[in-house]
Structure 1
Amino acid sequence: MHSRFKKFISYYRPYLGLLSADLACAFIVSAITLILPLCTRYITKNVLEGNLTDGGNRIYMVGSLMLVLVLIHTVCNMFISYQGHMMGALMESDMRIELFDHYQKLSFRFYDEQKTGQLMTRITNDILSLTELYHHGPEDIVISILKFVGAFIILININVSLTILVFLFLPVMAVFGFYLNKKMNIALRTSKDRIGDINAQVEDTLSGIRVVKSFANEEIEKKKFAYQNKRFVESRRESYKFETYFYEGLYAFTQLITIAVIIFGGAAIIKASLDLADLLTYLLCIGNLTEPIQRLINFARLYQEGITGFDRFMDILEVESDVKDKTDACELDQAEGNLEFNNVSFKYKDNYNYVLKNINLDIKVGDYVALVGSSGVGKTTLCSLIPRFYEVNEGEIKLDGINIRDIQLKSLRKYIGIVEQDVYLFAGTIAENISYGKPGASLAEIMEAAKKANAHEFIMELPDGYDTDIGQRGVKLSGGQKQRLCIARVFLKNPPVLIFDEATSALDNESEKAVQDSLEKLIKNRTTLVIAHRLSTVRNAKKIIVLTDNGVEEQGTHEELLELNNVYAHLYNMQFNI
């Protein structure tokens, strides 16, 4: 808890100058608010009741002073309102950047267990509520303390017994506020979780909108959304219930204080222990006593909303990636593409079974290696270990004789190109998507990569050529076109190690031929691993590795494995009905 508080405070550091100016203005505003009732008391008690000969001049002088004070008060309040809010917004921006940067560092293992909608909520809604807390928190505390202490000094000097009566209300208010504050905190945390669930549901439905419509399951999605929406409304019901009790209860206490002052102050006037001018001043100062309480009430609301968001923000920020650079990790100047697997074992969680067990492979520079086997034996997982998307549990993987754990992640992944079956393209233009393989690449380089990937012709037929917007996830392109853009992206990256997760299995014959031609150009003189589902595509592989639940069952050329008449031969004969 202490470390989180230090972290919370640390976001003020870049803006200490602005915070100091904000608090200085808050101090001036508080002082002026306390001075104005004293000016009123001076006019009513010293001037009007004193029957001074120059009373008129004194009233105008005090009135002029009050006008100047109001002007200063207004300017300071304007500074607090604008610059204070901007300070909060800048701090919010810093937090959002820090969280987004942290998202980039987390491994696939983290994302396997998270919902995108929840992660989006933490970087938007949760942090948004912190702007008001960061801005109003310090100034509300400063103004409240100054006004409260100042009002207390003034009131105790006017009438001790009346002031003691007023302060008898405060312990009751504190207990009442503390109890409901705790209830509000729980309700607000639940509410933030529920809005995250809504975002997750919306993201899931909209991402799969084509599947939804193809199965005509809009009603099912509506019911799923309605369920999450209802849970959110119920959480808000609890939140609003305790907020209502809290705010209205404390407001009632402030009203009771005012009534008590009027009743007992009036009785004191009748007994001649208090005069009317002092009661008028007392009532004006009571506003300065109750207004800090209302500010603290507002601060309590901001605190509850902000701190629940901050806790959720920190829950993610405190997650450490299981895949990260060693302090002495090296940066590769170049890579040739030798890969070694030495007794590599991997499982996704400690309580899970091993997906890969004691894998030993030696892949030389320029080798074309195919990975085959039934679904679930770990072909994709094995390839994901090479760029360290996951960390091996046992054994080691070497690139050019260096343990990949001793290589900086960015440097390692720079020399590995991946073309997946499930293509991902970003919203934007074709040129922007291809240049993702080499940020800052010239249009000539982008076009050359597209030509090598057999993509240039279809790109030039599009309305805006390389500047054509392809929509979210490339929705305006066919499967073959999207696949060729991904291959162009890898051509532009020009890595020595390639990984293909059966890049043609979902394509029609014509598209498959175009993609296959571009792949054959790409694999020349590169170390290539292909995850193969269609065994016809890997007949020419230098080495075919057959994976089973027992690990590497067989390896050799297509002909050698057929002669063994074992697992590979069985898969091949079954696929071609031999």
Structure 2
Amino acid sequence: MKPKSGFSRVLPYYHRYRAQLILNLTLVAVLNSCVTLIPLLTRQLFNFNPQHWDLYIAWLAALAAAIAGMVFCSHRTIRTGSQLGAHMETDMRRDLFAHLQRLGFSYYDRTKTGHLMARISNDLSTLSSTLHQLPADLLSSILSLGGALAVMFWMNWQLALVALLPLPAAVWLGIRSKHRFKQHSHRIREEIGQINTNVENAVMGIREVQSFANEQLQMAGFEVINRRFCEAKCDFAETIARYAAFMIGFMRVHGVLLAVAGSLMYVFSGLSMADLLAFVMYARFMLAPIERMVNFSEQYAQGVAALERFSDILNIEPEINENENAVAPEQVVGRLEFEGVSFAYAQTGSPVLQDINLVINPGSIVALVGESGAGKTSLASLVPRFYDVSAGRITLDGVDIRELPLHWLRRQIGVVQQSPFLFDDSIRNNIAFGRPDAGEKEIIEATRQANLLDFIDSLPDGLDTIVGERGVMLSGGQRQRISLARVFLKNPRILIFDEATSALDNESEQRVQDAINRLFKGRTTLIIAHRLSTVKHADLTCALRNGHIIESGTHQELLAAQGYFHRLHHQGAL
């Protein structure tokens, strides 16, 4: 599919709210009609004939009606435009968030969280303001400029030509400045993303910062980024200031030029005072689009930059594609097979796994061991298709996992991370994340299976206790057991378990281990192992080195072989 860019990306949002857009533009048209009538009606009042009071009152009433219409339409235009922008922003943020949910791990491996936060919050807010104002401002500018010029030429074409003379210079400057505004806006948005990333890292790592007494180091790093942002803003301000100064000077010169030409015509050509007054008013309306351009230029530049970044993300195709003809099997036995599997991360291109051949029988426990960087986590990440193989294939019950529905496949697999992630929510909702439609009894049963019930009963708010950001209010053992309860509730046929390397106190260790042993029963289990006790109970242990399985067998068989596994064992790596 051809990537969309520019305004072709946002046209569907305009179409979705076309009724509100049409109403907004209709109000803009009526508003400009009222504005165009006001100088004409004022001119008629200046041409007052004392013998026709009834006509004077009629003109006065018409002027009052035009002013009232202008006030009413101004209110409605602002309200409908703001509502249009709010709806478009809501939909764009939803679509962007939904797209981010579909992107694979590779995208997040190379993208900073702070930049994404800037895109989904600041950028969309700026973009929506630009999008809802742009059609109204464009139509208003065309109508006010066109209406003013039409009446001015009708009244006095010579003076109208004088009013038109400086306009090409203003248009030329606006076009010339557009590219410069865009560059500055891109730079500012990038610096905002860097600030967000820096703040996020500092807040998430505040315990490390304070424990190492590195507050000044963090402050120094932040000051550099903050100063760059300040410089970007100042450079943009300088460009805007030059543009605004020229435009303001242009408007003043334009007014003086029109006043001089008008006064000469008044003296020598018989131009009436009423016509001159109307001309001055229309000249002001003619300059309104230029004044609007000055005030809107910075926001427009930022909006265009935000639109490009919004389009850039939506144009990224998910790396994990689903087969349109995929059919979910009626039942899962749980037999996994790796057939000549090789894998390389897109960022580096260097092979991480090479020619992996492995069979994991239903209900068996397979442990992966090896030094850091051997490929254990990469191998496990291929099963739920967090990444796709570069060569070979992985089958589940004889079917290539790429031929299975992606959502269905991941529902069959439970993943327990080495450092479990908990949402800043209640214990109940963190556990229910494993299966959102689960009932109260099922959640309680999952807590019992994970050895959490006594702990939850001791809390004043029980399951409704808020765990804090990333579970900061809980101990390491409690966080692990909540993550286990989440998987118990999901009840998958296949389990991927990245064993925690951090030590717990004896009681917590025993509770966690009991829950883990219970979780392993009857499930096809792939363990990234770090402890000897885990390897001893595995049905098969595979030793990885530099992306290859160099040894496999039971614990005793591998020790007896006196090979790589034996060396790891005696070095204390297990």
Query: Given residue 4 of structure 1, which amino acid in structure 2 is its aligned partner?
Result: G
Preserved contact between residue 447 and residue 485 of structure 2 (Cα < 8 Å): yes
Query: Given residue 174 of structure 1, which amino acid in structure 2 is its aligned partner?
Result: V
Query: Given residue 567 of structure 2, which amino acid in structure 1 is its aligned partner?
Result: H
Match of 1:239 in 2: 236
Match of 1:127 in 2: 124
Residue 473 of structure 2 corresponds to residue 476 of structure 1: yes
Alpha-carbon shift at residue 448 of structure 1 (Å)? 0.6
Query: Given residue 571 of structure 2, which amino acid in structure 1 is its aligned partner?
Result: M
Alpha-carbon shift at residue 131 of structure 1 (Å)? 2.2
Question: For residues 255 and 158 of structure 1, what CA distance do their matches in structure 2 show?
Answer: 23
Query: Given residue 311 of structure 1, which amino acid in structure 2 is its aligned partner?
Result: E
1:345-376 alpha-carbon deviations (Å, 9 max, x no partner): 00112753211000000111001111111111
Q: How does 1:555-570 map to 2 (within 5 A)?
A: 555-570=552-567
Preserved contact between residue 344 and residue 393 of structure 1 (Cα < 8 Å): yes
Match of 1:465 in 2: 462
Which of 90, 105, 109 aligns to 2:87? It is 90
Match of 1:151 in 2: 148
Query: Given residue 53 of structure 1, which amino acid in structure 2 is its aligned partner?
Result: Q
Match of 1:69 in 2: 66
Question: For residues 2 and 199 of structure 1, what CA distance do their matches in structure 2 show?
Answer: 27
Match of 1:193 in 2: 190
Question: For residues 486 and 248 of structure 2, what CA distance do their matches in structure 1 show?
Answer: 63
Query: Given residue 51 of structure 2, which amino acid in structure 1 is its aligned partner?
Result: T
Q: How does 1:1-150 map to 2 (within 5 A)?
A: 3-45=5-47, 48=48, 51-54=49-52, 56-150=53-147
Alpha-carbon shift at residue 23 of structure 1 (Å)? 0.7
Question: For residues 502 and 281 of structure 1, what CA distance do their matches in structure 2 show?
Answer: 82
Aligned pair in 2 of structure 1 residues 272, 576: CA closer, same or farther (>3 Å)? closer
Q: How does 1:418-433 map to 2 (within 5 A)?
A: 418-433=415-430
Q: How does 1:29-428 map to 2 (within 5 A)?
A: 29-45=31-47, 48=48, 51-54=49-52, 56-349=53-346, 351-428=348-425
Q: Secondary structure at the match of 1:12?
A: helix
Preserved contact between residue 365 and residue 527 of structure 1 (Cα < 8 Å): yes
Question: For residues 248 and 405 of structure 2, what CA distance do their matches in structure 1 show?
Answer: 59
Alpha-carbon shift at residue 246 of structure 1 (Å)? 1.6
Segment of structure 1 superposing worse, 371-380 or 568-577: 568-577
Alpha-carbon shift at residue 2 of structure 1 (Å)? 7.3
Preserved contact between residue 335 and residue 396 of structure 2 (Cα < 8 Å): yes
1:276-310 alpha-carbon deviations (Å, 9 max, x no partner): 12111111111111112223334444321211111
Preserved contact between residue 332 and residue 411 of structure 1 (Cα < 8 Å): no
Aligned pair in 2 of structure 1 residues 542, 99: CA closer, same or farther (>3 Å)? same
Preserved contact between residue 412 and residue 494 of structure 2 (Cα < 8 Å): yes
Question: For residues 351 and 454 of structure 1, what CA distance do their matches in structure 2 show?
Answer: 42
Question: For residues 254 and 30 of structure 1, what CA distance do their matches in structure 2 show?
Answer: 20
Preserved contact between residue 370 and residue 544 of structure 1 (Cα < 8 Å): yes
Paired-residue identity, %: 39
Alpha-carbon shift at residue 500 of structure 1 (Å)? 0.8
Alpha-carbon shift at residue 167 of structure 1 (Å)? 1.2
1:303-360 alpha-carbon deviations (Å, 9 max, x no partner): 2121111111111111111112122222243322100000000011275321100000
Alpha-carbon shift at residue 504 of structure 1 (Å)? 5.9
Alpha-carbon shift at residue 158 of structure 1 (Å)? 2.3
Preserved contact between residue 25 and residue 76 of structure 1 (Cα < 8 Å): yes
Preserved contact between residue 481 and residue 512 of structure 2 (Cα < 8 Å): yes
Q: Secondary structure at the match of 1:91?
A: helix
Alpha-carbon shift at residue 539 of structure 1 (Å)? 0.4
Alpha-carbon shift at residue 390 of structure 1 (Å)? 0.7
Preserved contact between residue 375 and residue 547 of structure 2 (Cα < 8 Å): no
Query: Given residue 21 of structure 1, which amino acid in structure 2 is its aligned partner?
Result: L
Aligned pair in 2 of structure 1 residues 348, 73: CA closer, same or farther (>3 Å)? same
Alpha-carbon shift at residue 210 of structure 1 (Å)? 1.0
Alpha-carbon shift at residue 576 of structure 1 (Å)? 8.3
Aligned pair in 2 of structure 1 residues 525, 13: CA closer, same or farther (>3 Å)? same
Residue 495 of structure 2 corresponds to residue 493 of structure 1: no
TM-score (norm: length of structure 2): 0.97
Question: For residues 385 and 290 of structure 2, what CA distance do their matches in structure 1 show?
Answer: 55
Preserved contact between residue 136 and residue 299 of structure 1 (Cα < 8 Å): no
Q: Secondary structure at the match of 1:360?
A: strand
Preserved contact between residue 504 and residue 516 of structure 1 (Cα < 8 Å): no
Alpha-carbon shift at residue 3 of structure 1 (Å)? 4.5
Q: Secondary structure at the match of 1:100?
A: helix
Alpha-carbon shift at residue 548 of structure 1 (Å)? 1.0
Query: Given residue 558 of structure 2, which amino acid in structure 1 is its aligned partner?
Result: L
Preserved contact between residue 137 and residue 299 of structure 1 (Cα < 8 Å): no
Preserved contact between residue 424 and residue 467 of structure 2 (Cα < 8 Å): yes
Segment of structure 1 superposing worse, 250-259 or 369-378: 250-259
Alpha-carbon shift at residue 263 of structure 1 (Å)? 1.1
Give unmatched runs, 5+ long, in structure 1. Answer: none
Q: Which runs of 4+ in 1 moved over 4 A?
A: none
Question: For residues 70 and 161 of structure 2, what CA distance do their matches in structure 1 show?
Answer: 30
Question: For residues 563 and 88 of structure 1, what CA distance do their matches in structure 2 show?
Answer: 71
Question: For residues 100 and 564 of structure 2, what CA distance do their matches in structure 1 show?
Answer: 42
Query: Given residue 522 of structure 1, which amino acid in structure 2 is its aligned partner?
Result: L
Aligned pair in 2 of structure 1 residues 576, 63: CA closer, same or farther (>3 Å)? closer
Aligned pair in 2 of structure 1 residues 221, 324: CA closer, same or farther (>3 Å)? same
Question: For residues 339 and 130 of structure 1, what CA distance do their matches in structure 2 show?
Answer: 47
Match of 2:571 in 1: 574
Preserved contact between residue 114 and residue 200 of structure 2 (Cα < 8 Å): yes
Residue 526 of structure 2 corresponds to residue 524 of structure 1: no
Aligned pair in 2 of structure 1 residues 76, 333: CA closer, same or farther (>3 Å)? farther
Question: For residues 391 and 169 of structure 1, what CA distance do their matches in structure 2 show?
Answer: 62
Q: Alpha carbon RMSD of aligned pairs, Å?
A: 1.6
Alpha-carbon shift at residue 231 of structure 1 (Å)? 0.7
Segment of structure 1 superposing worse, 390-399 or 535-544: 535-544
Q: Secondary structure at the match of 2:513?
A: helix
Question: For residues 150 and 16 of structure 2, what CA distance do their matches in structure 1 show?
Answer: 36
| Number of residue-to-residue matches in the alignment | 572
Question: For residues 57 and 488 of structure 2, what CA distance do their matches in structure 1 show?
Answer: 83
Give unmatched runs, 5+ long, in structure 2. Answer: none
Residue 536 of structure 2 corresponds to residue 539 of structure 1: yes
Preserved contact between residue 140 and residue 299 of structure 1 (Cα < 8 Å): no
